[in-house]
């Protein structure tokens, strides 16, 4: 065992590992990259996290650089869960500390998963209405700030976080909270590292007032960099809160350890409705008509996905074969049973004559589950290689969607494969999964080439490749070059304020280097299900 791991093991309740077998487990996430860490720390509590970070910070001051990568469920699609130094896993910070059902508040550790939390909240008739992978951790949902499929109705994770606690790069803790200027002054007067952060962030915003204002007023949704700096100071009250900076930060500003969330009342019933259309225009017209009904989810699928799934024995068989060349619209409604019934009847009434639809009932639930199974089959069965999620979570404005989908044919011709787009119409957050041969030089070259081509196409249509999630290592190869000089300097200064020794995930976001990212593209495939 190396000296650092041995020293930390002597001072932690949790454990630090450096065996090759364990390092292999933490060397991949859901990205096309593979980076083997030097060691993995699994803290048992917040005190352990502080000790690890403080020690690594002390080493950095002695010119011994061991970067820290925070890892939740290991589901990141941009390589932000991977690091060559010390991976700090939050898997044991998985306690639900307190549930106040009257106030609809819950306090959890950052490693609690969405599924674990909602199972506990359901006992109180509550839920955190986030439609994401149930294996995602609460800390990961904040740090990756992914737009979930129910965000069109429920506004996403940003709406539900009241405050959080994080361990800073010095090993000190900070608790966020919106402060009026009088209370802010008390924080800024502190002689600690926390006080310096409040003073320096406030000064940074003051020095870049126009740029920060411009970031907050952009029409294009984009999670690259630290654009949430525009939400730190509220214009009307001038109140101040560091919380927004942790959204899309991907572990570069601090280690999130605890979170207080407010929740929603759990709806008694949820029902789905799927309709098939022969063209994107017909699908869009229909979607615009049913959106006012208040859908929980409103998703769009290129029907070619289901045809491919059918070739692997996973055809949902809901519609006639002619519809597998068009688009599927999947809507779900969560409400009281009588209200849902009226909404579903309205959906049927609005359906045009040349479309087909199926409404979920107690008798056909299995058919809808087969539809989900077909999506999973498509994502995990390919012709040539692996459908990696490198191009997930991009933003396309509604008014540009039809033209964007038409122009996607150019990329299909370039790469000689079908590229069906699917995702959430209500949030304008979409995904496309090229199948890539990672075990060939041509396949690995395709990873970055495809990202560049997709990003250019999205820009033509007013979209963004990082509209639904931040850039990490992979998308940063595109986004860093697209940032203006002033914006880059602003983000670099912010990173320096929080992490002066550059130990917190230094190789993601602004610190990502294309040549390094290329070198870490893996040559083998993930063995488990890739959603």
Query: Looking at residue 367, which CATH number applies to its domain?
Result: 3.30.70.3450
Residues 167-192 as b or e (16 or more Cβ within 10 Å = b)? bbbbbbbbebbbbeeeebeebbeeee
The answer to whether position 448 is within a domain reads no
Check residue 311 and give its pLDDT.
85
pLDDT tens digit at each of 531 positions of the chain: 799 999 999 999 999 999 999 999 999 999 999 999 999 999 999 999 999 999 999 999 999 999 999 999 999 999 999 999 999 999 999 999 999 999 999 999 999 999 999 999 999 999 999 999 999 999 999 999 999 999 999 999 999 999 999 999 999 999 999 999 899 999 999 999 999 999 999 999 999 999 999 999 998 999 999 999 999 999 888 999 999 999 999 999 999 999 999 999 999 999 999 999 999 999 999 999 999 999 999 999 999 999 888 888 888 888 877 788 899 999 999 999 999 999 999 999 999 998 999 999 999 999 899 988 999 888 887 766 788 899 999 999 999 999 999 999 999 999 999 999 999 999 999 999 999 999 899 999 999 999 999 999 999 999 999 999 999 999 999 999 999 999 999 999 999 999 999 999 999 999 999 999 999 999 988 877 677
How many residues are recorded in the chain?
A: 531
What is the domain extent for residue 277? 268-381
Is 371 inside a domain boundary?
Answer: yes
Question: How confident is the model at residue 383, as a pLDDT?
Answer: 65
Give the C-alpha separation, 317 to 10, whole Å.
59
Number of domains the chain contains: 1
In a domain, 320, yes or no: yes
- Say what the pLDDT of residue 384 is: 65
Cα–Cα distance between 89 and 93 in angstroms, integer?
Answer: 9
The answer to whether position 273 is within a domain reads: yes
Cα 289 to Cα 298: distance, rounded to the nearest angstrom: 12
- Alpha helices per DSSP H over 351-484: 365-380, 401-415, 441-460, 476-482
Q: Is residue 397 part of a domain?
A: no
The verdict on residue 511 lying in a domain is no
Residues 6+ apart with CB under 8 A from 297: 131, 149, 150, 152, 153, 330, 331, 332, 424, 426
Residue 285 lies in a domain: yes
Residue 436's SS3 state is: strand
The predicted model scores a pTM of: 0.95
With b meaning 16 or more CB within 10 Å and e meaning fewer, what string describes 20-37?
eebbeebbbbbbbbbbeb
Is 355 inside a domain boundary?
yes
Whole-angstrom Cα distance, residue 202 to residue 224?
21
Q: Token pair for residue 166?
A: 């994080």
Burial class (CB in 10 A: 0-12, 13-18, 19+), 409: exposed
Q: Directed axis angle between helix 46-61 and helix 3-11, to 10°? A: 140
Collapse the DSSP code of 204 into the 3-class scheme (helix H, G, I; strand E, B; otherwise coil) and give the result.
helix
3-class secondary-structure state, position 84: coil
CA dihedral (490, 494, 499, 503) positive or negative: negative
d(CA 220, CA 144): 18
Distances (CA, A) of 310 to 293, 299, 314: 32, 20, 5
């Amino acid at each position: 065992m190396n000296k650092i791991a041995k020293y930390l093991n002597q001072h932690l309740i949790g454990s630090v590992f450096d065996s090759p077998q364990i390092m292999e487990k933490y060397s991949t996430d859901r990205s096309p990259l593979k980076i083997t860490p030097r060691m993995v720390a699994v803290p048992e509590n917040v005190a352990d996290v502080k000790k690890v970070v403080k020690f690594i910070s002390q080493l950095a001051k002695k010119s011994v650089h061991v970067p820290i990568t925070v890892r939740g469920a290991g589901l990141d699609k941009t390589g932000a869960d991977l690091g060559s130094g010390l991976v700090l896993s939050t898997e044991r910070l998985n306690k639900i500390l307190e549930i106040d059902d009257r106030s609809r508040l819950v306090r959890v550790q950052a490693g609690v998963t969405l599924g674990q939390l909602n199972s506990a909240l359901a006992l109180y008739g509550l839920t955190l209405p986030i439609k994401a992978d149930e294996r995602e951790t609460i800390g990961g949902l904040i740090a990756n700030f992914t737009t979930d499929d129910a965000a069109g109705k429920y506004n996403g994770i940003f709406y539900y976080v009241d405050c959080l606690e994080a361990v800073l790069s010095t090993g000190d803790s900070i608790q966020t909270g919106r402060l009026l200027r009088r209370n802010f002054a008390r924080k800024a007067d502190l002689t600690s590292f926390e006080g310096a952060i409040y003073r320096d962030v406030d000064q940074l915003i003051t020095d870049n007032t126009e740029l920060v204002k411009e970031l907050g007023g952009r029409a294009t949704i984009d999670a690259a960099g630290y654009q949430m700096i525009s939400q730190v100071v509220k214009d009307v009250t001038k109140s101040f809160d560091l919380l927004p900076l942790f959204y899309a930060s991907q572990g570069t500003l601090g280690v999130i350890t605890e979170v207080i969330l407010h929740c929603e009342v759990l709806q008694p019933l949820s029902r789905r409705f799927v309709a098939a259309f022969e063209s994107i225009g017909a699908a869009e017209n229909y979607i615009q008509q049913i959106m006012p009904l208040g859908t929980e989810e409103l998703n769009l699928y290129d029907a070619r996905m289901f045809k491919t799934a059918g070739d692997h024995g996973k055809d949902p068989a809901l519609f006639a074969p002619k519809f597998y060349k068009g688009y599927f619209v999947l809507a779900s409604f969560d409400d009281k049973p009588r209200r849902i019934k009226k909404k579903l009847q309205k959906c049927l009434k609005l359906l045009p004559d040349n479309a087909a639809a199926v409404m979920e009932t107690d008798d056909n639930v299995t058919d809808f589950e087969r539809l989900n199974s077909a999506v999973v089959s498509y994502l995990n069965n390919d012709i040539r290689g692996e459908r990696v999620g490198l191009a997930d979570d991009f933003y396309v404005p509604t008014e540009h969607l039809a033209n964007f989908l038409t122009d996607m044919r150019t990329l299909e011709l370039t790469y000689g494969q079908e590229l069906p787009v699917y995702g959430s119409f209500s949030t304008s957050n979409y995904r496309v999964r090229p199948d890539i041969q990672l075990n060939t030089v041509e396949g690995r070259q395709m990873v970055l080439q495809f990202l560049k081509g997709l990003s250019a196409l999205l820009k033509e249509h007013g979209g963004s490749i990082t509209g639904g999630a931040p850039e990490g290592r992979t998308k940063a190869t595109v986004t860093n070059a697209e940032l203006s000089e002033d914006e880059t300097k602003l983000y670099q200064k912010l990173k320096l304020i929080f992490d002066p020794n550059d130990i917190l995930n230094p190789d993601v976001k602004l610190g990502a280097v294309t040549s390094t990212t290329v070198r870490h593209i893996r040559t083998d495939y993930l063995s488990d299900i890739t959603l």
